Amino acid sequence: MNFRWLKSILPKGLYGRAALIMIVPVITIQLVVSLVFIQRHFDGVTRQLTANVALELDYLLDRLNRANDPTGVIRDVATPLGYLVSPVAVMPTADALAFDDLTGANVIAVLHAQLSEMVRVDLKSLDRRVVLYATANGNPYRIEFDRSRVSASNPHQLLVLMIVTSLVMTLISFMFLRNQVRPIRRLAKAADAFGKGRRIAYHISGATEVRQAGHAFVRMRDRIERQIEQRTLMLSGVSHDLRTPLTRLKLGLSLAGRSDETEAMMQDVDEMQAMLEEFLAFARGDNLEETALSDPWSLAAQVAGNVGRTDGKVSLGDRPPSATPILVTMRPNAVRRALDNLVANALRYGKHCRLTVRCDTASVSFIVEDDGPGIPESQRENAIRPFVRLDTARNQNRGSGVGLGLAIASDVASSHGGALMLGESEDLGGLKATLRLPR
């Protein structure tokens, strides 16, 4: 049997599932105990009490059948036993039982079984009273007595007490459960923030297993941050060591005089320096940059404005309608560098570029579109990989590169917990690159 539909209605969070695991057994036990108690205990007590009353009524009806003076029997027998007996002219046609009477059916069944003279039982007309209609010596009589003589008094008290006690214990259990789930939620929050490139304060607490997971997370986070810092320091030294000979080459070429050979060599040196900067920018990353609340649209406008000063082919989409600026936690310099790379790639292979910002409750998206040749769907996954150049997909005569523009943008998106998605622009016809970051 397929129970997949059940997963859609079950709680998704740990707190909800733990609460469900705790509540379902309590409710099940209450239902089982209640049903068993009502069916066995109250039914048994009711039948026993009703049988005792039936013996007294049988004796009373027998005296009425043999008496010449029913009034004396009523006075001497019925009244001392607590029965109100009076003759009636009309007998009811059916028994009367309220729908919420838990024990009334047993009362009626026992009285019918033990009293042959009884005709009808009314448990509905009078509150907490039993009214019988029976014949004695050929005459109909109405017999009335207290309901407590045939039913257990206040049967709902035990149920109410059980429910109230269960609610109190469930509330106490919720308090303990919250204390147990809180450290797990803090750990999940810290791990989620670190996955999005943010470091938040995390205090290890909770059960032994949760503490072990917390210690493992802290060690992993420290190790990753230490590795990033060491890589950055190493690459800073490499950058310094390689820039020095490149500077000497440029200086030597500038002193050698202008010629076609020196111009070509100078161009090669400039290209080498640009490639070196791109390599270092990709390897260094921006993971050590502190996150800050930034306006995505203002950031996009700054990128479009910087490119527009040198190349007016970048258009900026309309600002999202909002009374107040939308602020998103991000590394603004890293996102700006990723957008610069996406816009530069768009202008390298196309004549026009459009930068648009879209915001919703869960994420913010920077959409860069161009009118270039685009990238085939089968090669888009490879295009994001570092050092991959799709010669058949892009026009190499429009500029040089080392295949790191999209990789840098994807790395920035991943460090924020987002993603870079490639598609086809419906309006411009070229590549559509969407840099999506969680809010």
Q: Do 304 and 269 sit in the same domain of this protein?
A: no
End-to-end CA distance of the chain: 40
**Number of separate domains in the chain:** 3
| pTM for this predicted structure | 0.51
Q: Is residue 359 part of a domain?
A: yes
Closest CA to 375 of 392, 398, 387: 392
Q: Is residue 179 part of a domain?
A: no
Q: Is residue 62 part of a domain?
A: yes
In this predicted structure, the answer to whether residue 285 has a pLDDT above a threshold of 70 is no
Tell me the average pLDDT of the chain.
80
DSSP 99: T
Q: Do 28 and 82 sit in the same domain of this protein?
A: yes
Percent of the chain past pLDDT 90, that is, above it, reads 9
Q: Domain of 90: which CATH number?
A: 3.30.450.300
Closest CA to 392 of 368, 404, 370, 374: 374
Q: Do 275 and 322 sit in the same domain of this protein?
A: no
In this predicted structure, the answer to whether residue 280 has a pLDDT above a threshold of 70 is no
- Give the strand pairing for 139-146 and 84-87: antiparallel
Q: Is residue 196 part of a domain?
A: no
Q: Do 270 and 295 sit in the same domain of this protein?
A: no
Q: Do 107 and 228 sit in the same domain of this protein?
A: no
Q: Is residue 190 part of a domain?
A: no
Q: Domain of 358: which CATH number?
A: 3.30.565.10
Q: Is residue 19 part of a domain?
A: yes
Could you tell me the two tokens for 65?
Answer: 């059948």
Q: Do 218 and 324 sit in the same domain of this protein?
A: no
Q: Do 338 and 264 sit in the same domain of this protein?
A: no
What is the tens place of the pLDDT at every residue in 338-352? 888 888 888 888 888
Range with the poorest average pLDDT among 168-172, 270-274, 429-433 = 270-274
Q: Do 335 and 425 sit in the same domain of this protein?
A: yes
In this predicted structure, the answer to whether residue 294 has a pLDDT above a threshold of 60 is yes
Q: Domain of 249: which CATH number?
A: 1.10.287.130
Could you tell me the two tokens for 301?
Answer: 């406008």
Q: Is residue 176 part of a domain?
A: no
Sign of the CA dihedral with 242 first, then 248, 254, and 260 last: negative
Question: Which pLDDT does position 394 carry in this prediction?
Answer: 45
Residues 70 and 87: beta-carbon distance below 8 Å: yes
Question: Which pLDDT does position 282 carry in this prediction?
Answer: 60
**Measured between alpha carbons, how far is residue 385 from residues 218, 315, 375 in Å?**
30, 28, 14
224: which residues sit within 8 A by CB, 6+ positions away?
none
* Final residue in a domain of this structure, among 244, 264, 284: 284
Altogether, the residues listed in the chain come to a count of 439
Q: Is residue 129 part of a domain?
A: yes
pLDDT band per the 50, 70, 90 thresholds, residue 315 = confident
Question: Which pLDDT does position 402 carry in this prediction?
Answer: 55
Q: Do 312 and 373 sit in the same domain of this protein?
A: yes
Range with the poorest average pLDDT among 125-129, 202-206, 251-255, 403-407 = 403-407
Q: Do 59 and 138 sit in the same domain of this protein?
A: yes
At position 139, the amino acid (one-letter code) is N
* Final residue in a domain of this structure, among 156, 173, 198: 156
* Final residue in a domain of this structure, among 249, 284, 319: 284
In this predicted structure, the answer to whether residue 9 has a pLDDT above a threshold of 90 is no
Burial 169-199 (b: 16+ CB within 10 A, else e): ebeeeeeebeeebebbebbeebbebbebbbe
Q: Do 214 and 227 sit in the same domain of this protein?
A: yes
Question: Which pLDDT does position 258 carry in this prediction?
Answer: 75
The Cα–Cα gap between 264 and 269 comes to 9
DSSP 378: G
Residues of the domain holding 213 = 208-284
The enclosing H or E element of 235 equals helix 208-255
pLDDT band per the 50, 70, 90 thresholds, residue 396 = very low
Residues 337 and 408: beta-carbon distance below 8 Å: yes
Q: Do 25 and 71 sit in the same domain of this protein?
A: yes
